[in-house]
Structures are given as C-alpha cells and as structure tokens.
Structure 1
Amino acid sequence: MAARRHRWGLAVGGVSAAVAVALTAACGGSTTGGSTPSAAATAGASGAAKVPLTVYSAQGYDSDVVKAFTKATGIDVKLVDDSTGPLLTKISAERNNPQWGLLWVDGDTAFAALDKQGQLLPYTPSAPLTDVGQQIVPSDHAYVPTGTTVMAALIYNAAKVTNVPTSYQDLLTPAYKGLVGMNDPSQSGPTYPFIAGLMNQLGGQADGVAKGEDFFTQLKKNGLHVNPTNGDTLHALETGQIQYGLIQSSAATGETLKAQKSATFDPKVVYLPKSTLLPSVIGIDKAAPPAEQAEAKQFIDFVLSPAGQKVMQGADATGDSLFWPVVPGVTALSGLSAFPTDYQKIDPYFWGPLEGQVNSWFDGNIK
C-alpha cells in the first residue's frame, strides 16, 4: 500500500452513484473482536509520541470539541469538516491509501458498511452508556455512539396550514400535494437512514425496498420537493416553497427555537409513528498507524466524558447540540422535547450495504 501520511488535497465533490455503491457494498464478514484496552493503557504501553490525528466529521460541534481535546491533551488534530455524503465519498476514494484517523457522522448504517469491509478498529470506551446507547453498539464494538437524534421529525408551518399528518400515508393524500420537502440522501447523511427506516417499517427486510420505492414514487407524484440538506429544506419552509419538511430532529427543533415567529411563519414539530433512531457515531480507521489509533481512542473517551459532552452541548445550541445523550447522568438541552418512545432501531448491517443501491435509485427516480 502507498504511504499513508499524505494530508493535502482535501477538496471533495458530490457523491457519485458508483462511488457510493463501492463504499457500501459488502466485501466480506464483519470484523471480529470485543473489548479493547483503554486509550490511556494503549498509549502508555506503546510509549507512542504524539502525532497528528485526522478527524473526518460532519458534526456542528466538532470544531469546538477538537479545540477542547487539543487543549486537554496537547494532541494536534486536523479536522476535515464536510457533509456526510462527501466525506464517505472521500473515504471510498482513499480506500487503498486512507487519510483519516476518525470518522464522526450521524447514522450507523455507513459505519456498518465500513465494518463489513474490515475498515474499522474495534474499541470499547471507558464511559458507560445508557440502555439506548448500548442498543447501538455492534457486537464487535467496531464503532461507538456519542448521542442520538431521530429521523425524521416532521416540521410544518402552523401559520399557513392546519392539517397535521398522523402517518406517512397521510402525506400521499391531496391535502399535502406539492407541500412536502425532504433532503437528498446522497448529500444529507441523516436521510438514507430515514429512507431505510421507512422501508423497514413498510415491508421489513423481506419486502421493504420494494414497498419503500413504491411509497416514494407516490410521494413524488404528489409533488415532493427534494433539497440537498437540512438547511435547504428549512429555507424552503421559511420561504413558503413547502409547508412540511421531513428532516433530522435536531435541525427541526433548532428551527422552532431560533425562528422569528410571525403571522406567516410559526414552525412546529411532530413525530410520525416509528421514527428511526439516528445516532451520532464515531469510528477508528483500522489502517491508521498505531500512534494515531491510540490518540483516536483518547478522543473517543474525551467525547464521552463530562467535559466532552459539555462542549458538544454548548457549541451548537440550535443545531447538532440538540441530541439526546447516551451517557448516563448527562441531561438533554432544555429546548429539546422528551425522547420519542415510539421509535424503531433498524439493523445497520442489513441496511448499510444497501445504501448505494437505494441512493442510486432515489437519484434516478425521485430527485
């Protein structure tokens, strides 16, 4: 393999279907392993000197966390911040010469696909997790949850419409024609897990893809608007292009907190049955040098520590900081509603490898 420490040339483009398929195709069995030594023990045993840690992240609080981590440890971190889709494309393009040490994005389906390709290093952090957090951890400990949201929240403009759907099927009726928007799964990381979750809800693993394709085909016929990311869908809501948006719970809640309410705009949020659990997830590059892997473990432990959680919650109060914690003793921000009880957790090891196929179909038939 070529030398790995080339850190320049970080510009990325959009997600091509071919690259997405390459990333998510299952390339073998899951990696094995379980609990691993703590980061401190690993670093101490190896006596490794500090090296730059490269973090690929799509989190709104990542810059603040990186700065706090460097201040606490003295470890230099190179942050590559972008939307999830371009980051996954970048990782796929670097398959033979990886340039990342840690990946930190929303949704465990992408991590499950990477794990099935043998690209993730198992690690068990020192911090305990809540029951919900433990549900997210895979049996081989290939990645770690750092918080959770759900997908999708339905945000609507109560100043313009009075109809509030109670099911996804409601959105197919004439009352919602031309009024519904969502994100592009090739650009917005949280959107594929939403699509997969809806497929799982409609037809399970046996028939979910077909049932989901039929649903989105009908939704398109009913005037669905597809925008690149949460911000674009919210802009469409604010400007009256749509009256309902299917977006990540943190972005929807943030909009209700920061929006200037008026006679023409009053955003409200509801959760339709079986919203899909969408964790923020972090994982270590198995091909990274040992010294960088040890630092990556330290970073994960810092993120799950009281200090790290405090930074995560304080950095983006009307955006990504609106997550439900998975660390015991950490309380969600006051602006966030109670964690939805009617949620589902999909199997990322089944749905993750289908991401390229589903996104390609969506690109060709729905956008």
Structure 2
Amino acid sequence: MKKAASFYASLALSALVATGAVAETELTVYTAVEAEDLARYAETFNESYPDIKINWVRDSTGIITAKLLAERDNPQADLVWGLAATSLLLLKSEGMLEPYAPEGVEKLDAKFVDSGETPSWVGMDAWVASVCYNTVEAEKNGLTPPTSWQDLTDPMYEGHVIMPNPNSSGTGFLDVSSWLQLFGEEGGWEYMDALHNNIARYTHSGSKPCKLAAAGEIPIGISFAFRGAKSKAAGAPLEIIVPSEGVGWDMEASAIVAGTANLEAAQKVLDFSVTKAANEMYNSGYAVVAYPGVAKPVEYFPEGLLDAMIDNDFEYAANNRAAILKEWQSRYDGKSDPK
C-alpha cells in the first residue's frame, strides 16, 4: 500500500509540474522604475525564469530609499531592481546589501559596477538631467530659451519653472547634488535660493516636470533627457536644453537585500539583470545602458548631452544625502506638491 501511495503521489506531482501548478518562488522587489515598464520587465525575465514570480513594490526613489531604511531591522524586500546608485551606496554603507557578482558582470562597463571585491550592486542604465522647454507656451509668455542653469534664475522665468522634489525624486536629488558640486556648497545653496523664486511647484516625480511641460501646463520643466526626447517624438513642442555648466546624472542599479530568505532566486534576478537581453530592454526607456554596444540612437536625444555629464562624485552624494535633503526641505518644501 505504501508503494502504491508513493506511486500515485509521484504521478500527482508530475501532473502538477506538467500543468505549471507547482508553487512558484515569489520575490518582493522594490523599484523606482517607471510604472509603465514593470510588466515588460517581469515578462522578459519570466521568459528565462518562469518559476519565479515578481511582486513589485514601486514608488519614487526617495520614498523607496526611506522605506528600505525604515525596514532595516526587519527587511520586507528580497531585492531592489532599479534604484539610484546613490541610494544603494547609502544602503551598502549601512550593511543592508548582500554582495554578489552576477554571472557575466565582467561584460558591463566598469563604471556601472560597485567597486567592492564582490560587488554589492550592479548598474543598469543612466539618466541625465536636462531642461524641457515648451516653445509654444514660452512664446505666449514672452520668454526666451535659457542656455544655462544660471539663466533659470532670471526674473522673467518667475512662476514658469517646475522641478522635482529631491526628497522623493531621484532626478531631483541628482539635480541638487550636482549643483552643489558645480557651484560649491555655499554657491550651490545661493543658486537654489535664486531658482526657488522662479519655481511654481516641486513635484514628487522626476518625469512629471517634463510631462507637464509637454502638455503645455508649464513652459519649463527640469527633468531628464530621455523623457524629453520621448515626449518630443510624440509630437510635443519641446526643446531639450543642455545647460552649459554641465548636467548631473545617476544610474539605476540592482542589489540583493541582506537577509532574504530567497537568496538563490534573488541571485537569478541579478544574473538576468546584467545580460545583453536585459540591457536591450532597459534601452527602450533609457539612452545610456551598462552593457557596451547595446544602446541605440534615440530620436531627439540632445546632441552633446553625454559630453556634458559631470564627473559625478557618487560617494559625496551618498554620504551627504541626509544632510542635503534636510537642508533642502527646510528652505524650499513650502512649494512642494502634497504627498
């Protein structure tokens, strides 16, 4: 009887496998990737790993970073797939990441890989600051196009500029940290004081200022270049301006959260995240990706933008993040959108 029971149990298991009914490994994955891209990311990953189900927890960079820090003693995420490298450097310094060298990581551009002996995070793509300028709305308001960050402090732009809040937006934080590097600590805050006079409001999304400019709701949105190029390709009357002083940038990256109970499955996600196929997937949303030779030319991507990328000090940005955000909030948060 025992042999018969074992035989029938084996048949039942085979049937479950054949019908795909065997329990999947489920991973809780935190991300700041644009919401519209997440289903495509999961579907592409599942083509290689159909037995791993991804449960996304998506929010803006600052909110996801704060959530991870708040959960430090009781982690809820298995891994992060798509968060600013400056945030992951902070998490690494807190001992919150599980070092892992994904299979094939050596094929990536070295600047997209954590410098530790065993990397704690691996990069995916980069996004670069720029100014989205609606030519139609600007003309209605008698504006002329800015050519530099300093130009945006001109009184003619008062009430005509929107930018992201750095406490919630990775794009906002790369703007602020880059201005502090470009103009120096004192000069950077003086610049932001002057810019604040012209700001209509601060959004909680890095792409929203450009989307609002594209829709004609504001003449000028400080955002990132790919969003501008995408909106212009869709017919928006935009110019994507590269300020002459140089532009800040950050990279999206992935990492395993230390203490995950699903380490093997999380490692498979990291393995996939560095593949050529994954980077081709990233390239549909970002012009700069980690895998050399993959990125295709992007229509309306501003000429000279890559040369304008500053020599970003990621360690400075990560180590001073809390102090920078606190100072920014104390000065400018009164114009932020409600959360």
Superposition pairs of residues 29-178 of structure 1, within 5 angstroms: 51-60=25-34, 61-73=37-49, 74-125=51-102, 126-129=104-107, 133-140=109-116, 141-150=119-128, 152-159=129-136, 160-161=138-139, 163-178=144-159
1:277 to 249, 266, 269: 249
CA separation of 1:192 and 1:231: change in aligned 2, threshold 3 A: closer
Q: C-alpha separation between the residues in 1 aligned to 2:199 and 2:28?
A: 42
Q: What residue in structure 2 maps to residue 9 of structure 1? A: none
Deviation at 1:111, TM superposition (A): 0.9
Work out which structure has the larger RCO, using CA pairs closer than 8 Å and 6 or more positions apart in sequence. 1
Deviation at 1:333, TM superposition (A): 5.0
CA separation of 1:287 and 1:347: change in aligned 2, threshold 3 A: farther
Q: C-alpha separation between the residues in 2 aligned to 1:69 and 1:232?
A: 28
Deviation at 1:363, TM superposition (A): 2.0
TM-score by length of 1: 0.74
Q: What residue in structure 2 maps to residue 346 of structure 1? A: 312
Deviations 1:177-210 (A, max 9, x none): 222210111221221122101111111xxxx2x3
Segment drifting more, 113-122 vs 357-366: 357-366
Deviation at 1:340, TM superposition (A): 1.6
Query: 1:288 and 2:266 equivalent?
Result: no
CA separation of 1:172 and 1:118: change in aligned 2, threshold 3 A: same
The question of whether the paired residues in 2 share the 8 Å contact of 1:65 and 1:303 is answered with no
CA separation of 1:223 and 1:80: change in aligned 2, threshold 3 A: closer
More helix per residue: 2
SS of 1:164's equivalent in the other structure is coil
Q: C-alpha separation between the residues in 2 aligned to 1:120 and 1:285?
A: 5
SS of 1:52's equivalent in the other structure is strand
Q: What amino acid sits opposite 2:265 in the alignment? A: E
Deviations 1:282-320 (A, max 9, x none): 11112213xx22322221221222322333345xxxxxx
Q: What residue in structure 2 maps to residue 18 of structure 1? A: none
Query: 1:299 and 2:269 equivalent?
Result: yes
Superposition pairs of residues 244-323 of structure 1, within 5 angstroms: 244-259=220-235, 261=236, 266-272=237-243, 273-289=245-261, 292-314=262-284, 321-323=285-287
Deviations 1:149-173 (A, max 9, x none): 21x2111012234622222111112
Q: What residue in structure 2 maps to residue 183 of structure 1? A: 164
The question of whether the paired residues in 1 share the 8 Å contact of 2:127 and 2:250 is answered with yes
What RMSD in Å do the two structures reach over aligned CA positions? Answer: 2.3
The question of whether the paired residues in 2 share the 8 Å contact of 1:84 and 1:105 is answered with no
Superposition pairs of residues 325-336 of structure 1, within 5 angstroms: 325-332=289-296, 334-335=298-299
Task: Extract unaligned runs of 5+ from structure 1.
Answer: 1-48, 315-320
Question: Percent of pairs identical after alignment?
Answer: 22
SS of 2:82's equivalent in the other structure is strand
Larger Rg: 2
Q: What residue in structure 2 maps to residue 324 of structure 1? A: 288
The question of whether the paired residues in 2 share the 8 Å contact of 1:313 and 1:333 is answered with no
The question of whether the paired residues in 2 share the 8 Å contact of 1:64 and 1:312 is answered with no
SS of 1:246's equivalent in the other structure is strand
The question of whether the paired residues in 2 share the 8 Å contact of 1:107 and 1:281 is answered with yes
Query: 1:237 and 2:213 equivalent?
Result: yes
Q: C-alpha separation between the residues in 2 aligned to 1:275 and 1:107?
A: 16
Q: C-alpha separation between the residues in 2 aligned to 1:129 and 1:242?
A: 42
Q: What residue in structure 2 maps to residue 44 of structure 1? A: none
Q: C-alpha separation between the residues in 1 aligned to 2:32 and 2:241?
A: 25
Q: C-alpha separation between the residues in 1 aligned to 2:122 and 2:26?
A: 21
Segment drifting more, 163-172 vs 91-100: 163-172
Deviations 1:125-171 (A, max 9, x none): 314455xx422423212211111121x21110122346222221111
Deviation at 1:95, TM superposition (A): 1.0
